[in-house]
A and B are shown apart, each in its own frame.
Chain A
Amino acid sequence: MSAEVEIVTHPSMRGKVAVVTGGARGMGAEFATGLVAQGVNVVIGDINADAAAETAKRIESEAPKDGGRVVSARVDVTKRADQAALAQFALDTYGVLDYWVNNAGIFPQAGILEIDEAQLDSTFGVNVNGVLFGVQAAAAAMGDRGGAIVNMASVSAFRTRATRGTYGASKAAVDHFTHFMAVELGASGIRVNAIAPGFVDTDMLAWIHETPGVLEQALTTVPLGRLGTTKDILSVMLFLLSDSAAYVTGHTLIIDGGSRLN
């Protein structure tokens, strides 16, 4: 089994300001926690405002002495105006915006013959429109002084499993959109990259634990032999936002323990 991930300190991150969408739980909550630990001031945006406030309170109370601040706000990422207001909230709270993580996402499952309008609209609304509107809001608040953005794609964009068509297509769109965002925002000093996680043990993966045998079956496709942890993804997200990745843009980093290869 592969080792536990090591989280390094990025001195360039201290004092910066980040927005994390979908930060009430799962990977987004881990990102917010990890950013605060680096001394970054964070805004958690989530459609579940109560859970986001709860998470912010917990992170604040557990933050290290020289950690950043954290506040929360309600956002429906499918709404362009909501995302613009979220960026403005970051400016109102901290004065400046340096990082943005488009993390909110939903994971529907349905066979090709069953996919209906509602599933397509909701999935693309959150996973694709939500990422685009987030990038638009972030770029406006960053202006021409630069910044870094990370979009959440998925290994489902690159490998094919039955019933993941809608999700995989939406995440493939995120991967491809990221290229255009990187090209068009490069002149403003804004880097845009994506992360494509494999199996990461969050609420989104509840189904894998529900039926006996499913987890074991899934793990046979993961060369490193375990599920990913939210920290496995955090480590790469911090790298991509930090100046360690100063010349990295338009990339999708697949963090999946090798599962795309099977």
Chain B
Amino acid sequence: MTYRPEFRAMIAAHVDTVNWLEKDPDRRQAIVLAQRTAMAPPPHPAPIPVAQTWVEELGHSDLVARVYRPDVEGVLPVLLYFHGGGWIGGTLDVLDDSCRIIANSAECVVVNADYRLAPEHPYPVPLEDCMDWIEWVDRQIGRFGGDPNNVAVAGNSAGGHLATAAVLRARAAGRADFAAQVLVYPVLAASVAAGSYRTNERGPFLSGPQMAFFWESYLGRPVEPADLANPDLSPGTASDLAGVPPTILVSAENDPLSDECDAYAAALRKAGVPIAARRYEGQIHGFFTMSRVTGDAHHATIEAARRLRDAFDATGRKELQQLWDASAWR
């Protein structure tokens, strides 16, 4: 395992002192709160300019979304983004930069949407909140000059999990197909047995046991083998992937989730789903939102946004795959 040089000092200094196997509910809750603080972003740098932003309420449970519109005339495609944070943490601030970059360069309206968090609100509450945001977009996005018939979803880590699961649910409920899904090191399988969980046993930044703790917080119990057959929990191992929207997948070499990302990319390709996948060598889980540490953060954002624009404009799935294959993801 190699790490990009910008992480070497941090990794040398990294010691994981958290007892992820803690069973006492009070002490588990204390870990959750400490994790929420650790995931909060450093003081927010000034925003990347976009033409206009709004803060919108979902209408229940105090949830809000930030809506960003780039300096482009006319009705624009839409990206609905769900932040990461192990289902227990994360905020809209962490994704603010990424959403602004994507709005500008994919020339779309971006909705950076919040959802309630586990363990206070375990599965299926976060997923249902995401479904509500999809419905909100379908009904409301016209007010912001967005096109409800050209919508993509996105998310990083647990947010990528929720996006993937929500797409399958929406499809099962008969919603028209999404234009694309943009997944950044998503959680795709309710299992902690993959080889990459072993090789990243001690992290850093996301360790195998930590991921198991997140699963347990989300479900209120450890994962079970049967969870692999539940598309809400394991959207990446669904048996019928043919209807999945074109997928842009960013993953990191040093990540417990790298195996499930690789497997998903291979499965989509086999199922004929347009896929643009890039595994960032030397990178760690979480790099996408670490723009002040690693240049790969904005690199990945810009490259993903390019391909999202391709998907919004695509005339067909075959043409899209050809376009993606023809353009190297540096």
List residues of A whose CB falls within 8 A of some B CB: 11-17, 39, 41, 63, 65-69, 88, 91-96, 140-146, 188-189
**B side interface size, CB within 8 A:** 32
- Are A140's CB and B5's CB within 8 A? no
Which chain B positions have C-beta within 8 A of A66?
Answer: 330
Closest residue of A by beta carbon distance from B46:
A144
**Of the residues A12, A94, A142, contact of B295 by C-beta under 8 Å:** A12
The B interface is mostly helix, strand or loop, or mixed, namely helix
Q: In the complex, how many angstroms separate the beta carbon of A14 from the nearest chain B beta carbon?
A: 3
Q: In the complex, how many angstroms separate the beta carbon of A95 from the nearest chain B beta carbon?
A: 3
Query: Does B56 touch A at the CB level, under 8 Å?
Result: no
- Are A145's CB and B45's CB within 8 A? yes
- Are A92's CB and B72's CB within 8 A? yes
Which chain B positions have C-beta within 8 A of A145?
Answer: 45-48
Considering the chains assembled together, what is the distance between the CA atoms of A14 and B100 in angstroms?
Answer: 19
Q: Which of A12, A13, A15, A66 has the most CB of B within 10 A?
A: A15
Which chain B positions have C-beta within 8 A of A41?
Answer: 302
- Are A95's CB and B46's CB within 8 A? no
Considering the chains assembled together, what is the distance between the CA atoms of A93 and B104 in angstroms?
Answer: 7
- Are A91's CB and B70's CB within 8 A? yes
- Which 3 pairs show the lowest CB-CB distances between chains A and B? A14-B295, A95-B101, A144-B46
- Are B299's CB and A15's CB within 8 A? yes
Closest residue of A by beta carbon distance from B300:
A15
- Are A14's CB and B5's CB within 8 A? no
Q: In the complex, how many angstroms separate the beta carbon of A19 from the nearest chain B beta carbon?
A: 14
Considering the chains assembled together, what is the distance between the CA atoms of A41 and B101 in angstroms?
Answer: 13
20 more contacts with CB within 8 A, not counting A11-B6, A15-B298, A96-B302, are A14-B299, A15-B294, A17-B298, A17-B302, A63-B330, A68-B330, A69-B302, A69-B330, A88-B71, A92-B70, A93-B105, A95-B48, A95-B102, A95-B103, A95-B105, A95-B301, A96-B48, A143-B46, A145-B45, A145-B47
